[in-house]
Amino acid sequence: MENQNVYEKPVTLGHIFKFAVPTIAMTVFMSFYTMVDGLFVSNLIGTDALAAINLTAPVIQLVTAISTMLATGGSAVIMKKMGEQKYGEAKEDFTFLILVNALAGILMCAAGYLVMDDIFAGMHLSAGVEGYCVEYLGRYLLFTVPILLMNNFTLYMIASGKAALSLVCSVTGGVLNMVLDYVFLAGFGMGISGAVVATGLGYSVTAVVGLFVFSRKKSLLHFKKPAFRLKVLANAAVNGCSEMASALVTGIITMMFNWTMLRYAGEDGVAAVTVVMYVLMFASSLYTGYSYGVAPMLSYYHGERNHEKLKKLVAVSLKVVAGISLVTVAASFMLTGSLVSVFARPDNPVYDLAVTGNRICTVALFFIGFNIFASGMFTALSNGVVSAVLAFSRSFVFMLAAMTVLPLLLGVNGIWLATPVAELMALALSVFMFLKHRKKYGY
């Protein structure tokens, strides 16, 4: 149990960063998977293809939602058992949940092919954009199982004290994706299919490495004959339902953004939304990475009822999130023109739309980090209900209200303003829940 000693060390900023820095780098590289696709697609194919990537996002978010639920919820359940010294049971449950992921991936892949054509036929898109959508999603579904395994193995490597290996896998996958994007699009002329295949192979790196790592008994967590405890699956689903809701609702809200933009600014507006979402996704990956990194620590300290360490970890985390927020806001404001120009030239109508949108949406970065951390914290503390309320309110209720009202009053600028307004309302709810449950968990 040598690896377990990492949880017995004092809670210092340096020790926290040993967990968090690799996961921050990991999530940043994961965000590169999508951003690099957009970069090559927009420059080598065109902004119609870029719009198609965003139009397929709601379906892709469904895959992400299921994998995120099982990964974050399962990690919280298993690491809580490790903190309770139930090592054998934790390994049985770990193996069981990985098998569930593989089965879920197969079922989602099959379902996706059955409904794919009907989804895009009802959007009244131009023939070219609709063709890109079908081609992109059709190739993406082939990698459903590796994507689910990648999301799970990433978190379980971190929980097993192998955060550095998780980082190496993510970096390797990201670099492979970038190289293959160039080879498949610029070299072989494979079009938008080449971008998907490059991304899928990048995802597969962590999935393949994880299968080898967790087959070795030296790992803190490793495969063992599974025990089919449905209660474990239910607990993982409940604990991870907030993250699932967040990912799922992100797809719904993306769909609303697309429909609203199609009405106000046409397909150029959808392409502009894609560019702005890339910037927000990159900044959000910093917060998500930090939350992933400290989640096993939160779960472990909660399991062993070490309130002193838990309180210090939360206090330091809030300061770290505040620091990241200030840096990302400043960088996004100063680099708006340069960031947008990577995806659209200044003479393209998409450019002006995206520049305006990014400057307005950047305000949301003051609030996003605290909301992501609050939801992740309650998941790690095995309170999936509170986490789900936070995530669902933030991603759906508040966004739906803002998206319904603001565009009617302010037009296209109202669409952009919806994100910061929704995040501000979510921050108020996060603060309320944080204070309400403070005594219960002792943070």
* Residue 299 near residue 75, CB atoms below 8 Å: yes
Model confidence at 326: pLDDT above 70 = yes
Contact 63, 108 (CB under 8 A): yes
- pLDDT tens for 347-400 read 888 899 999 999 999 999 999 999 999 998 998 888 878 988 898 888 788 988
Q: What is the mean pLDDT of residues 127-139?
A: 87
Is residue 2's pLDDT more than 70? no
pTM across the whole model: 0.68
pLDDT at position 302 is: 85
The residues, ordered by sequence, that sit 6+ positions from 422 with a Cβ below 8 Å of its Cβ are 364, 394, 398, 399, 401, 402
Of the candidates 143, 409, 129, 371, the residue with the CA atom closest to the CA atom of residue 274: 129
Contacts of residue 58, defined as CB under 8 A and 6 or more positions apart, other chains included, come to 251, 252, 254, 255
- Would you report the helix, strand and coil content of the chain in percent, each value rounded to 5? 85, 0, 15
Mean model confidence pLDDT for the chain: 85
Contact 39, 342 (CB under 8 A): yes
Question: What is the average pLDDT across 157-174?
Answer: 83
Nearest Cα neighbor of 411 from 260, 272, 276 is: 260
Q: How confident is the model at residue 3, as a pLDDT? A: 45
Q: What's the number of CA atoms in the CB half-sphere (13 Å) around residue 40?
A: 26
Q: How many helices (H) and strands (E) does the chain have?
A: 16, 0
pLDDT tens across 9-29, in order? 877 888 888 888 877 887 887
Give the other-Cβ count within 10 Å of 237's Cβ: 18
Spatial distance between the Cα atoms of 66 and 241, rounded to a whole number of angstroms: 9
Interhelix angle for 144-159 vs 47-83, to 10°?
40
**Structure confidence at residue 421 as a pLDDT band (50, 70, 90):** very high
39-64 exposure pattern, b = at least 16 Cβ within 10 A, e = fewer: bbbbbbbbbbbbbbbbbbbbbbbbbb
Give just the sign of the alpha carbon dihedral 242, 248, 251, 254. Answer: negative
Q: How confident is the model at residue 245 (pLDDT cuts 50, 70, 90)?
A: low
First to last CA, the chain: 27
Q: DSSP label at 183?
A: I
Looking only at Cα atoms, what is the longest distance across the chain? 62
Query: In this model, does residue 240 exceed pLDDT 80?
Result: no
